[in-house]
Amino acid sequence: MKKETAIFFALLTVSAGFAQRSAPTSTNDDRLKKLLERRPELDADNDGILTLAELRAARGQIKKQPQNNQRKRLQKRTPTFSDVSYGAYDSMTFDFWQAESQTPAPLFVFIHGGGFRSGDKSTLNPILLEGFLSNGVSVASINYRLSGIAPFPAQMHDSARAIQFLRSKAGAWNIHPGKVAAGGGSAGSGIAQWLAFHDDLKNPESQDPVEQQSTRLTCALAFSMQSTYDPRVIQKIIPGIAFDDSALKPFYGLPADWNWETDPVDKKLDALIKEASPINHLTADDPPVFIYHSEKTRQPGNIHHPDFGIHLAEAMDKLNIDYVRTTSADYDSRSAPFEAMVQFVLRYLK
């Protein structure tokens, strides 16, 4: 407990130094990351990201060890299958909760955030888990290779294979292969959007039966989301220096001292950046998306700024694709946005 209090005060002391950089969160600060792992209840809005603002709000609770009933319920929900391997790498695993259903059940796949370089499937939001299972929707929560192991496109391709693997288990696990949704926060939202908008990666000619399955989604959830990972576009749509967020360089396999404003972007890197950005794959036949941001991220330089949602909504409007776009200002409780996400997904899956 003394260690956690020390971390709290240390972060408050250095927070002023982040005024001109991306604000510290568990996605870019190891101390916040470790604190979130020990104290997930400090994540007040259950988006899988611990911010300095949330830590400040919890200052009076640090010594009280408040219990989070939703997190406790999640711990009681034992997965039907745990740490299922779906690929060749150790980090390609998922947990699966099979819903009680007399007919093949729809499936929701949670994809964790963490700037593509951290995070874990254990951060599945309990409101989503409970909401889906209680309505006859099975749930999976996946891990994928992080950028420290392999840069883009590993994260997207791993997640695509997880979707395919789960579809390949449709008969054995009572899954409806035609009703699959996915979603997550931050990096997880980007992967979910990428899957939702990208052309189907199935390969009917493959000798691997998993690769013969579709990667397309019925709908997607995107909270604390980014709709593009192109720093050149981010610089135009987000105030401040979010375009220089530290997670983007390892995501593209670039050195830590890379300078987006002065270093040349060759054709290969340009193609990689364009391929990685979900919005670049958007077409009129793509599925609906629930877009959500916390108002606390409406700050210059914040990589979770609500303007990412506006950017996607404008593109979806042009193509007449359904979506819901909200922020925390639209709700009267921290749980309400996630309850709304459950209802959104059920609308399309059920």
Tens digits of residue pLDDT in 116-175: 999 999 999 999 999 999 999 999 999 999 999 999 999 999 999 999 999 999 999 999
Are 9 and 85 contained in the same domain?
Answer: no
Q: Could you tell me if 186 and 114 are in contact, meaning their C-beta atoms sit under 8 angstroms apart? A: yes
Within-domain flag for 217: yes
Here the tokens at position 37 are 């792992």
40 and 128, same structural domain?
A: no
Place of tokens 């130094």: 17
100 and 153 co-located in one domain:
yes
Whether 240 and 110 map to the same domain: the answer is yes
d(CA 282, CA 196): 8
The parent domain of residue 57 ranges over 2-61
Residues 52 and 184 in one domain: no
In the chain, which stretches have pLDDT less than 70? 1-23, 27-28, 37-41, 44-48, 57-75
By three-state DSSP, how is residue 301 classified?
A: coil
The dihedral formed by the CA atoms of 109, 115, 117 and 119, expressed in degrees to the nearest 10: -50
Task: Decide if 55 contacts 78 (C-beta within 8 A).
Answer: no
Number of domains in the chain: 2
Q: How far apart are CA 201 and CA 214, in angstroms?
A: 7
Q: Domain ends where: 61, 86, 103?
A: 61
In a domain, 137, yes or no: yes
Query: Which pTM value belongs to this model?
Result: 0.85
Domain check: are 242 and 296 in the same one?
yes
Decide if 66 is inside a domain: no
What is the amino acid identity at position 178? G
83: left (phi over 0), alpha (psi -120 to 50) or beta: left
SS3 243: helix
